[in-house]
Amino acid sequence: MNIQGRRVLIGITGGIAAYKVCDLVSTLAKLGANVRVLLTRGAEAFITPLTLATLSRQTAFTDADFWQPLPRPLHIELGEWAELLVIAPLTANTLAKLAHGLADNLLTNTVLASTCPILLAPAMNTDMWEQPVVQQNHQRLQTQLRYHWADPEAGILACDRVGTGRMATPTKILAQIQSLLYSQGQRDLANKHLLISAASTREHFDPVRFIGNPATGKMGLALAQAALHRGANVTLVHGPISWEPPQGITAIAITSAAQMRQVMVSQFPTVDWVIMAAAVADVKPRHYSPEKLPKRSLPSTLELELVPDILGELSINKQPHQRLVGFAAQTGEIIPPALAKLQQKHLDAIAANPIDQPDSGFGSEQNQAVFLDRQGRQTTIPLVSKLHLAHALCDFVQTIPDAVGASPALWGN
């Protein structure tokens, strides 16, 4: 996602996870963001302003700068400058200050002097995080729409405790930063439940051999992240993946197309949107051996049969408020087959993406697509990050008129 020139203010408080923020600051600067950093007095015990100034290519501010004579108060200047304020790590002490509107240092004064979205990434010992008063402060801030959360993860902490309290990874925080810069902190999907499919399916003919495809699920992951970051309730149904599903979503792992169909059909009545980003197999072996076949017993020809058409089945029971969105991964001319799929499966929209273009399609970090809907609209998205494409697709789907959601019988053939 292009964040060139976007103004991101990073606030670092006094926790051991402060060292991880160096990677985040460096990555943002390399991506072209305009990054400024301020450290609390506690943060300076873990990391130096010089380190952050070097990585951000700008002066790193401390509480000592707060009291220097300047043309305008520093906290006012920084608060008005920032498009997004990120506090990572967020300690229990600073969390309490934010929850009660206290301002006794440069960081907390800057929070009160700003109006931009704020992303909070707590990090602390498990017992500290689970204290009722800390959770009360956490809940108190969750009622304020300008605050967004990269909640702590479970794992081995610096204190050797195993539990929840480890700061979200810089990669996950970066994705939220990109989303918030795109959406400007709007939770425009807050009342939506999205059902998203991702990755490939595997159709086995014995326990170790299968028909499959190279889909990694990165596009589905990006869609889940974008929807989650914009406030949606997300259920992600995914085939085999090498990445961890985002916190805050319901993830359901499957292997075969039949398993994916069962989950999608059962979940469909309760959701508002379905985005079918998974690369579902078209065929499966007719016969399955419960034991591994010896090499000498492998068939010279493999009998195949069609797998269920998941999108087609969902469209039969689609309600007027629901949106059904597909993907068409194509080579060569991408629009005609995508339009055919749009019509045949009674979809509201489809994303046609070329898998034969450089840096696009399966396994890539980027993608490009043409969005099509039943009213004949076409929106071309050039090569961008998959997260950017996911946000653009969410924008496109939101503009589909309600009339398009009518039952398939009203659409004609």
Phi, psi of 64 (to 5 degrees): -65, -35
Cα 273 from Cα 235, distance rounded (Å): 10
Q: At what angle do helices 386-398 and 218-229 cross, to 10 degrees?
A: 60
Pairing outcome for strands 118-122 and 84-90 = parallel
**Identity of residue 15:** G
- Residue burial 235-260, b: 16+ Cβ < 10 Å; e: rest: bbbbbbbeeebbeebebbebbbbebb
Quick check: 114 and 79 in contact, CB under 8 A?
yes
- Mapped onto helix, strand or coil, the DSSP state of residue 103 is coil
> Of 22, 116, 159, 394, which is the active-site residue?
159
Instruction: Count the helix, strand and coil residues of the chain and give each as a percent rounded to the nearest 5.
Output: 35, 25, 40
Quick check: 198 and 241 in contact, CB under 8 A?
yes
**Which conformational region is residue 363 in: left (phi greater than 0), alpha (psi within -120 to 50 degrees), or beta?**
left
Query: Which distant-in-sequence residues (6+ apart) come within 8 Å of 139 by Cβ?
Result: none
- Residue burial 346-361, b: 16+ Cβ < 10 Å; e: rest: bbbbbbbbbbeeeebb
Closest by CA to 54, choosing from 22, 9, 84, is 22
Query: Which distant-in-sequence residues (6+ apart) come within 8 Å of 50 by Cβ?
Result: 60
Cα 127 from Cα 129, distance rounded (Å): 5
Closest by CA to 321, choosing from 272, 275, 282, is 272
Q: Is 394 annotated in the active site?
A: no
Cα 109 from Cα 93, distance rounded (Å): 15
Which DSSP letter does residue 286 get?
A: S
**Look-up: residue for tokens 């989303």?**
179
Q: What does the block give as tokens for 141?
A: 């801030």
Cα 130 from Cα 135, distance rounded (Å): 6
Q: Which residues are the active-site residues?
A: 159
